[in-house]
Amino acid sequence: MFQGRDIACDRGERRIFSNLDFRIMQGQALVLRGPNGCGKTTLLRTAATLLKVARGKLTWDGTDISEDPEEHRARLHFVGHLDAVKGALSVRENIAIWAKVRGSTEDRIEAAMAAFEILHLMDTPAQYLSAGQHRRTALARLVASPAALWLLDEPTVSLDADGTACLQRAIAAHRADGGMVMAATHIELGLDDVEFLQLKPQ
């Protein structure tokens, strides 16, 4: 269980939000909503320990994550606006790199490309990808190595209907395995049985 209690976050010396509570159980998905600039990205980055909480506590199964941030980092995937895809490497190499860094196996790499329907682009250097193909490559990282918590910041940007369906299937499979998802979005993700967290601009 991933839980935040009475969280407050600052960006550039400004309080973005405060008194925020949330809870994600195994297999659950939490969707963050709110107008531009309300702090969705900020919250996701905080949950990934990339930002520090200004007040409150984030806990994993009851233990404070700031006690061992490395352990928390190892159990999450974060896909944000920057997609960490290297133009000089092929699609396959891009995915394999992150799988290897996280100690995953070869066959998951194939599975990840299959999950996002980019097997045919396997050997294409990423700099020649269209915006949507690029995004699929970034998302394939989620499947290429296992992690309990997925933090997704506007994951469907640039995806076509097919791509969105791929993502939905991947999320469903992840949840069926007991995984958790926390996603920020402006458009319908099309997931079933989700909870919403509405952020209000301060």
Partner 1 sequence: MKSFRAIIARDLLLAVRQGGATFLALVFFLLTVTLFPLGIGPEPAVLARVAPGVLWVAALLAAMLSLDRLFQADFEDGSLEQLTLSGLPVGFIVLAKIITHWLTTGLPLLLAAPVLAVLLNMNDEGFAALLLTMLIGTPALSLIGAIGAALTLTVRRGGVLLSLLVLPLYIPVLIFGVSAIDAAVHGLNAKPHILLLAALTMAAIPLCPWAAAAAVKLSLE
Partner 2 sequence: MSMHYFANPARFTRLAGRIQPWAGGLAALLLLVGLYLALVEVPADYQQGDTVRIMFVHVPSAWMAMFCYMFLAGASAVGLIWKHPLADLAAKASAPIGAGFTFLALVTGSIWGKPMWGTWWVWDARLTSVLILFFLYLGYMALWQAIEDSQKAGKAAAVLALVGAVNVPIIKFSVDWWNTLHQPASVLRMDGPAIHSSMLWPLLIMALAFKAYFVALLLTRMRMELNLRRIRALRLAERTS
Ligand X SMILES: Nc1ncnc2c1ncn2[C@@H]1O[C@H](COP(=O)(O)OP(=O)(O)OP(=O)(O)O)[C@@H](O)[C@H]1O
Binding positions for its own copies, rule: CB under 8 A:
11-12, 34-41, 81, 128-133, 136, 154, 157-163, 186-187
148 sits near partner 1 (criterion: CB under 8 A): no
The whole-angstrom separation of Cα 164 and Cα 189 is: 8
Phi, psi of 144 (to 5 degrees): -70, -20
Site track for partner 2 across 100-129, x = CB under 8 A: --------------------xx-xxx-xx-
Pattern 36-75, ligand X, x by CB under 6 A:
xxxxxxx---------------------------------
Out of partner 2, partner 1, ligand X, none, what residue 120 binds, judged by CB under 5 to 8 A for its kind, is: partner 2
CA distances from 95 to 37, 77, 85, 164, 165 (A): 31, 13, 8, 19, 20
Strands (DSSP E) found in the chain: 2-11, 14-24, 29-33, 55-60, 63-64, 76-79, 149-153, 180-184, 195-198
Residues in the site for partner 1, rule: CB under 8 A? 48, 50-52, 70-71, 73-78, 80-89, 93, 97-98, 100-103, 141
Residues in the site for Mg ion, rule: CB under 5 A? 41, 130-131
